[in-house]
Amino acid sequence: MIKLAEVTKSYWDQQVLKGVNLEVGRAETKIILGGSGSGKSTIIKLVLGLEKPDSGHIFVDGEDITPFREHELMHVRRKFGMVFQEGALFDSLTVGENVAYKMREEKLFSEEEVDAVVRRMLGFVDLEDAIDKMPAELSGGMRRRVAIARALVGNPKIMLYDEPTAGLDPITSRTISELVIKLRDLEGVSSVFVTHDLRTAFTLASQFAVVRGGGDVEFMGEDGKLCLINTRFVMLQDGKILFEGTDEELRNFSSSYVQEFLA
């Protein structure tokens, strides 16, 4: 779904990415870790075509987007749902209007269709009752969930998360992790998950969602000896990928940089 091949990127005289290779397959999650300023958000911007690499290639859903111009990139961006740290809801619109925004702008859907989608997406994040509230009336965690509901409109095959749990308490972060796991395991969505939040990162890498009879979703932990095959860590350091592998491999990786990061 996403591939970066030998990507380099500088801003002025600062080389941020020095030959990055990264692939995200269907229904796969790559968790990107790295210190502040290590180029995590830059990777997201490159994938969206908001920045161009200096060299190397970026593929999305099999297409080399590197030479694409703005009108072609607009079409590529429809494949993505994006959730950023700030949530970035429109303050003057209700929750329902925020979620409906993209569909209304496209002017292709009846109000009944828009309403059905808005209710379904808010149902997915368990916030149907907030449909008529204003963002200011919601907690930080609820706003982040509305942002996820909004990102899901159009059923994107790929989700990009840039520090979506930053500033949230552990319990609220847990609800965000569960949504990400549900999208991965029940909807087959691919994702790039940039984070500083190790607790959330290890939750994503060690738990999976199953649907029980009656439609309830349950979250289960991998057995001690098993590793989830659909979720891997990628650690950036000094413009390169220092490590890629499972949660267990990361914990055992003998690099003082990684061990300090985990500590």
Residues that bind ligand ADP (CB under 6 A): 11, 16, 34, 36-42
Distance CA 109, CA 25 (A): 31
Which partner from the list Mg ion, ligand ADP, none does 37 bind, CB cut-off 5 to 8 Å by kind?
ligand ADP
Nearer to ligand ADP, 51 or 128 (CB): 51
Q: Does 230 bind Mg ion (CB under 5 A)?
A: no
CA 232 to chain centre: 13
Name 90's Cβ contacts closer than 8 Å, sequence gap at least 6.
97, 98, 101, 135
Q: Are strands 80-84 and 2-11 parallel, antiparallel or unpaired?
A: unpaired
Measured at the alpha carbon of residue 29, what is the angle toward residues 157 and 227, in degrees to the nearest 5? 140
203 binds, among Mg ion, ligand ADP, none (CB under 5 to 8 A by kind): none
Q: How far apart are the first and last CA of the chain?
A: 32
The answer to whether 83 and 164 are in contact (CB under 8 A) is yes
**Which of 17, 117 has the CB closer to ligand ADP?**
17
DSSP class of residue 108? -
Nearer to Mg ion, 34 or 96 (CB): 34
Shortest Å, Cβ 245 to ligand ADP: 20
Question: Can you tell me whether residue 41 is helix, strand or coil?
Answer: helix
42 near Mg ion, rule: CB under 5 A = no
The 8-class DSSP code of residue 138 comes to S
To Mg ion, the closest distance from the beta carbon of 235 in angstroms equals: 15
The answer to whether residue 41 forms part of the interface with Mg ion (CB under 5 A) is: yes
Of ligand ADP, Mg ion, none, which one does residue 146 interact with (CB within 5 to 8 Å by kind)? none
Tell me which residue has its CB nearest to Mg ion: 41
For ligand ADP, which is the closer residue by CB, 41 or 191? 41
DSSP, collapsed to helix, strand or coil, labels residue 18 as: strand
Provide the minimum distance between the beta carbon of 43 and ligand ADP in the complex, in angstroms, as a whole number: 7
Alpha carbon of residue 34 to chain centroid: 16
Largest CA distance in the chain: 58
Piece of the chain touching Mg ion by CB under 5 A; list 20-28, 33-41, 166-174, 252-260: 33-41
Interacting span for Mg ion (CB under 5 A) from 34-42, 100-108, 123-131, 232-240 = 34-42
Nearest to ligand ADP of 73, 227 (CB atom): 73
Q: What does 34 bind: Mg ion, ligand ADP, none (CB cut-off 5 to 8 Å by kind)?
A: ligand ADP
